């Protein structure tokens, strides 16, 4: 079977898949079969008996990629993939920390903070420390902390040059102490903590290094310094590292990714064993040429040249709309036409630079009745009602989590105001205990109170009793009712959606549980049962450290990592925010940010909002690196398309509640003109009139018979389009974007402007 597996590969792909037991770097261009090579190599290694399923680790960045890999492996091999170390950096770090939580100095039931949770934890801390939040903005503090953690640095490692930084380091330290107290761990901490665990604990390190014969890393260009160091800790003398990446698709520098890791890896591990996959199987020639031409403008590249033997295909369609609504209208019409020709909606993607841009598109799609699905944005597990319900679960199982406690102590409102909370926090602080313990103390002897703190303490204890022995889904159902969340949202005027989400949450829990039960515990070896991992001597307090912790004597069901299903579910909620959107299975148009589109492909792709300031984003203008990253982002966007590519932009759009006028993106002019097919904006039915309805209405009708969006001619500057105006009568001035002469303000009284 391995023969047939290899048959369909090209020579470079095959070479990569069948590399001997050595480290190597695979430079894999967009659409060159990267995922295929990775999964085929795993299948090949296992099926040829070179490694057992548990003797390898495969790391990805997104849950989607991890899932995809597992699916493909199970399709190729008759093995149970559960228990295999295939997952995201964060997922695997979580797994390691759960299994060795004692060595990592964490409670068995540590909770994972998502960015929202982290932000509120920081705000709470700043308040408690009496920090001036004008001087130390929570956002910046968060950025500071995460930045350092991602570089592998603790508060004590912060380089202090000035008072401000010194204070930040202090806050950093206090933040970590708070998290430790509350048994919570943020995203960066997952990695840093597991990194420290591995580097400090030699037996543990030796164990894993001996276990993993092969480590395969996807999207290597996106690793940050900490992740790279993290990987290296798992690599023993006999471990082969197989890194697949594309420096041209590095789009996560903003969160610490360093392409330098690729050069570093080449020196340290691959030692010259570099295989380039340059044949693109995805796109037609014109699309690929455009992408190549664009990315060639970047200076910092390892160098690669994608080619295809497919034909040139269609030209790239470019559309300019008057406003964002025209842009959306054009897209709706084109999508309809494509769909009519038989193309599945799910094979068409609408891409944008930032999430906020989806609104207008959604509106247009909704009113035209085209089914669509938005990825990203507000995720299921990030919704407040879901977070509330989960916080109840959390407080029930780990009441010392002050963050979860504060989230729900007075929600739904039960008469606990800021004053009582201040008192409580005071008491907790002086007693050196959690809010929950302090609340319990204050409520002693007031068991039947109907309001206030005692009522809350009562409620939690009652809920605990009521849920004893129940399944996860049943527990959630109970909690949603007992807590009063159900009643609360029932009476809210637009609470119906929230109720539905809560029901959906119960469903998700049931599904999750079912999944956990299909593979009962004993068949699921965890860390300890790698191909050749004998029991390794460990630090004393743990009897069988590699077997995961706490056999959990209680009645709660146990899953593969020896923790309760509830814990796993809470971790799942944080790590995999979830695309629990309606319409699974139905054919729907795909809407997402360019970032979210990485790794995906579609027959037809619309890249929207191609305007200066939007894409490239204005935040990137400051430095050359920022612009290069935007260009790589554009490269990623273009290479998503197999057959047809649309580039759209608008002269004006609503942004932050104001109309903004944007010039066409520089990326449009960086593409080869001969490949482009400009679509005349007037050819579209809705744009027949000189002044489109959207702009002739709300006071935009300019003086002197001109209007925004109108094409004009000037004797000296040539042809252009009116983008704005101010004043009336003799004072009236218009802003014109000329084709060649740039943007100019002209006084209507003097300028010899004529309609064109």
What is the set of active-site residues? 34-35, 218-219, 249, 640
Would you count residue 738 as binding DNA (CB under 7 A)?
no
Q: How far is the CB of 75 from DNA (least distance, A)?
A: 23
User: How many residues in the shown chain lie near DNA by CB under 7 A?
Assistant: 43
3-class DSSP assignment, residue 20: coil
State the Cα–Cα distance between residues 341 and 288, nearest whole angstrom: 24
3-class DSSP assignment, residue 257: coil
Q: Which is nearer to DNA, 338 or 574 (CB)?
A: 574
CB 692 within 8 A of CB 326: yes
Would you count residue 596 as binding DNA (CB under 7 A)?
yes
Q: Which is nearer to DNA, 147 or 525 (CB)?
A: 147
Would you count residue 410 as binding DNA (CB under 7 A)?
yes
Would you count residue 657 as binding DNA (CB under 7 A)?
yes
Long-range contacts made by residues 671-675, C-beta under 8 angstroms, separation at least 24?
Answer: 671/290, 671/293, 671/294, 671/316, 671/647, 672/289, 672/290, 672/293, 675/286, 675/289, 675/290, 675/315, 675/316
State the Cα–Cα distance between residues 467 and 482, nearest whole angstrom: 10
Q: Contacts with DNA in 241-260 (CB under 7 A)?
A: 251-252, 254-255
Stretch that binds DNA, among 5-13, 207-215, 612-620, 706-714 (CB under 7 A): 612-620
Q: Which is nearer to DNA, 115 or 586 (CB)?
A: 115
Q: Which is nearer to DNA, 207 or 388 (CB)?
A: 388
CB 443 within 8 A of CB 454: yes
Would you count residue 670 as binding DNA (CB under 7 A)?
no
Give the start-end residues of each E strand in 47-129: 56-60, 85-88, 111-113
Q: How far is the CB of 69 from DNA (least distance, A)?
A: 14
Residue of 203, 415, 672, 727 that binds DNA (CB under 7 A):
415
Q: Which residues, 6 or more positions from 511, have their beta carbon under 8 angstroms from its beta carbon?
A: none
Q: Which is nearer to DNA, 73 or 409 (CB)?
A: 409
Q: Which is nearer to DNA, 291 or 575 (CB)?
A: 575
DSSP states of 569-627 as a string? HHHHHHH------S-TTS--EEEEEHHHHTT--EEEEEE---BTBBTTBGGGTTSHHHH
Residue of 14, 123, 154, 336 that binds DNA (CB under 7 A):
123
Would you count residue 617 as binding DNA (CB under 7 A)?
yes
Residue of 2, 62, 425, 696 that binds DNA (CB under 7 A):
62
Stretch that binds DNA, among 411-419, 516-524, 604-612, 694-702 (CB under 7 A): 411-419
* Tokens standing for residue 53: 């399923």
Would you count residue 621 as binding DNA (CB under 7 A)?
no
Q: Which is nearer to DNA, 561 or 630 (CB)?
A: 630
CB 722 within 8 A of CB 706: yes
Give the burial class of 59: count Cβ atoms within 10 A of its Cβ; 0-12 exposed, 13-18 middle, 19 or more buried: buried
Helix (H) / strand (E) containing 430:
helix 418-431
Q: Contacts with DNA in 79-118 (CB under 7 A)?
A: 88-91, 114-115
Instruction: Please list the alpha-helical segments (H only) found in 641-721.
Output: 666-669, 693-696
One symbol per residue from 335 to 364: x for binding DNA (CB under 7 A), - otherwise; what is it? Answer: ------------------xxxx--x-----
Q: How far is the CB of 203 from DNA (least distance, A)?
A: 28
Q: Contacts with DNA in 574-593 (CB under 7 A)?
A: 575, 577, 593
Q: How far is the CB of 755 from DNA (least distance, A)?
A: 30
Would you count residue 201 as binding DNA (CB under 7 A)?
no
CB 97 within 8 A of CB 190: yes
Would you count residue 414 as binding DNA (CB under 7 A)?
yes
* Tokens standing for residue 43: 């299948």
Residue of 75, 337, 344, 413 that binds DNA (CB under 7 A):
413
* Angle, helix 435-443 to helix 418-431, in steps of 10 degrees: 110
Stretch that binds DNA, among 21-29, 418-426, 543-551, 709-717 (CB under 7 A): 418-426
Q: How far is the CB of 83 from DNA (least distance, A)?
A: 20
Q: Which is nearer to DNA, 143 or 745 (CB)?
A: 143
Q: Which is nearer to DNA, 354 or 735 (CB)?
A: 354
One symbol per residue from 439 to 478: x for binding DNA (CB under 7 A), - otherwise; what is it? Answer: ----------------------------------------
Residue of 137, 196, 362, 504 that binds DNA (CB under 7 A):
137
How is the beta sheet containing 85-88 ordered, strand by strand? 85-88, 56-60, 214-217, 240-245, 24-28, 274-277
Q: Which is nearer to DNA, 172 or 717 (CB)?
A: 172
Would you count residue 620 as binding DNA (CB under 7 A)?
yes
* Tokens standing for residue 375: 């990825």
3-class DSSP assignment, residue 12: helix
Q: How far is the CB of 131 from DNA (least distance, A)?
A: 13
User: How many other C-beta atoms are found inside a 10 Å radius of the C-beta of residue 480?
Assistant: 22
User: How many other C-beta atoms are found inside a 10 Å radius of the C-beta of residue 493?
Assistant: 5
Would you count residue 376 as binding DNA (CB under 7 A)?
yes
State the Cα–Cα distance between residues 592 and 4, nearest whole angstrom: 36
Mode of pairing for the β-strands spanning 754-755 and 602-607: unpaired
Stretch that binds DNA, among 19-27, 60-68, 393-401, 461-469 (CB under 7 A): 60-68
Q: How far is the CB of 509 from DNA (least distance, A)?
A: 21
Residue of 24, 45, 61, 185 that binds DNA (CB under 7 A):
61
User: How many other C-beta atoms are found inside a 10 Å radius of the C-beta of residue 170?
Assistant: 15
Would you count residue 425 as binding DNA (CB under 7 A)?
no
Q: Length of the chain in residues, anyone?
A: 756
* Tokens standing for residue 518: 């299909």
Would you count residue 418 as binding DNA (CB under 7 A)?
yes
* Tokens standing for residue 93: 């770090």
Would you count residue 532 as binding DNA (CB under 7 A)?
no
Q: Which is nearer to DNA, 266 or 561 (CB)?
A: 561
Instruction: Please list the alpha-helical segments (H only) found in 432-541.
Output: 435-443, 452-467, 472-482, 485-491, 496-518
CB 188 within 8 A of CB 149: yes
Q: How far is the CB of 73 from DNA (least distance, A)?
A: 19
Provide the binding-site residues for DNA, judged by CB under 7 A.
61-63, 88-91, 114-115, 123, 137, 187, 251-252, 254-255, 353-356, 359, 376, 410, 413-420, 575, 577, 593, 595-596, 617, 619-620, 626, 654, 656-657
């Amino acid at each position: 079977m391995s023969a047939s597996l290899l048959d369909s590969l090209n020579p470079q792909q095959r070479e990569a898949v069948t590399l001997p037991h050595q480290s190597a770097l695979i430079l894999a261009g967009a659409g060159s079969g990267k995922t295929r090579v990775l999964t085929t190599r795993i299948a090949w290694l296992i099926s040829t008996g070179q490694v057992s399923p548990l003797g390898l680790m495969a790391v990805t960045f997104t849950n989607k990629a991890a899932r995809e890999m597992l699916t493909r492996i199970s399709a190729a091999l008759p093995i149970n993939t559960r228990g295999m170390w295939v997952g995201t950096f964060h997922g695997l770090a979580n797994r390691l920390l759960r299994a060795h939580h004692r060595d990592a100095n964490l409670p068995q039931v540590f909770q994972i903070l998502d960015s929202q949770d982290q932000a509120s934890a920081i705000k709470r801390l700043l308040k408690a420390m009496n920090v001036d939040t004008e001087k130390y903005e929570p956002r910046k503090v968060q950025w500071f902390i995460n930045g350092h953690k991602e570089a592998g640095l603790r508060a004590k490692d912060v380089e202090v040059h000035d008072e401000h930084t010194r204070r930040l380091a202090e806050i950093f330290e206090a933040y970590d102490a708070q998290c430790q107290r509350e048994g919570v761990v943020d995203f960066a901490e997952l990695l840093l903590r597991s990194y420290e665990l591995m580097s400090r604990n030699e037996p543990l390190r030796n164990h894993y290094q001996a276990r993993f014969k092969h480590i395969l890393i996807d999207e290597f260009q996106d690793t940050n310094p900490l992740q790279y160091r993290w990987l290296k800790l798992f690599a023993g003398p006999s471990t082969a590292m197989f890194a697949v990446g594309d420096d041209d698709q590095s789009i996560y520098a903003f969160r610490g990714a360093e392409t330098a890791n690729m050069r570093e890896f080449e020196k340290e591990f691959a030692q010259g064993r570099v295989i380039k996959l340059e044949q693109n199987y995805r796109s037609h020639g014109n699309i690929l040429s455009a992408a190549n031409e664009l990315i060639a403008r970047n200076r910092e590249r390892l160098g690669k040249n994608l080619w295809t033997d497919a034909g040139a295909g269609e030209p790239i369609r470019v559309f300019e709309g008057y406003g964002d609504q025209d842009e959306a209208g054009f897209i709706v019409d084109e999508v309809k036409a494509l769909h009519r020709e038989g193309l599945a909606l799910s094979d068409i993607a609408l891409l944008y630079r930032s999430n906020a841009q989806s609104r207008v598109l959604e509106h247009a799609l909704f009113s035209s009745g085209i089914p669509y699905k938005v990825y990203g944005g507000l995720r299921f597990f990030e919704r407040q009602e879901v977070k509330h319900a989960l916080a109840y679960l959390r407080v029930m199982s780990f009441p010392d989590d002050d963050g979860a406690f504060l989230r729900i102590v007075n929600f739904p409102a039960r008469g606990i105001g800021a004053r009582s909370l201040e008192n409580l926090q005071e008491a907790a602080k002086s007693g050196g205990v959690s809010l929950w313990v302090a609340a319990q103390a204050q409520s002693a002897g007031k068991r039947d109170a109907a309001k206030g703190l005692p009522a809350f303490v009562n409620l939690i204890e009652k809920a605990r009793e009521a849920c004893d022995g129940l399944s996860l889904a049943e527990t959630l159902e109970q909690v949603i009712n007992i807590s009063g969340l159900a009643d609360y949202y029932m009476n809210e005027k637009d609470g119906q959606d929230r109720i539905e989400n809560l029901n959906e949450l119960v469903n998700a829990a049931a599904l999750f549980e079912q999944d956990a039960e299909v593979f009962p515990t004993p068949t699921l070896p965890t860390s300890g049962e790698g191909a050749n991992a004998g029991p390794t001597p460990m630090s004393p307090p743990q009897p069988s450290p590699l077997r995961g912790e706490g056999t959990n004597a209680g009645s709660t069901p146990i899953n593969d990592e020896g923790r309760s299903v509830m814990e796993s579910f809470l971790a799942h909620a944080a790590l995999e925010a979830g695309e629990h959107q309606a319409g699974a299975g139905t054919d729907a148009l795909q809407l997402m940010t360019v970032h979210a589109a990485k790794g995906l492909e579609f027959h037809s792709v619309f890249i929207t909002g191609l305007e200066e300031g939007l894409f490239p984003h204005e935040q990137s203008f400051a430095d050359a690196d920022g612009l290069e990253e935007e260009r790589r982002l554009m490269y990623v966007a273009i290479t998503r398309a197999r057959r047809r590519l649309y580039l759209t932009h608008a002269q004006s759009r609503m942004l932050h509640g104001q109309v903004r006028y944007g010039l066409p993106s520089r990326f449009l002019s960086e593409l080869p003109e001969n490949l482009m097919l400009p679509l005349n904006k007037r050819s579209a039915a809705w744009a027949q009139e000189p002044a489109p309805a959207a702009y002739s209405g709300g006071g935009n009708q300019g003086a002197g018979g001109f209007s925004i969006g109108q094409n004009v001619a000037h004797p000296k500057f040539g042809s252009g389009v009116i983008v704005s105006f101010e004043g009336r009568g003799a004072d009236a001035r218009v802003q014109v974007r000329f084709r060649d002469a740039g943007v100019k303000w002209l006084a209507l009284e003097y300028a010899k402007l004529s309609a064109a």
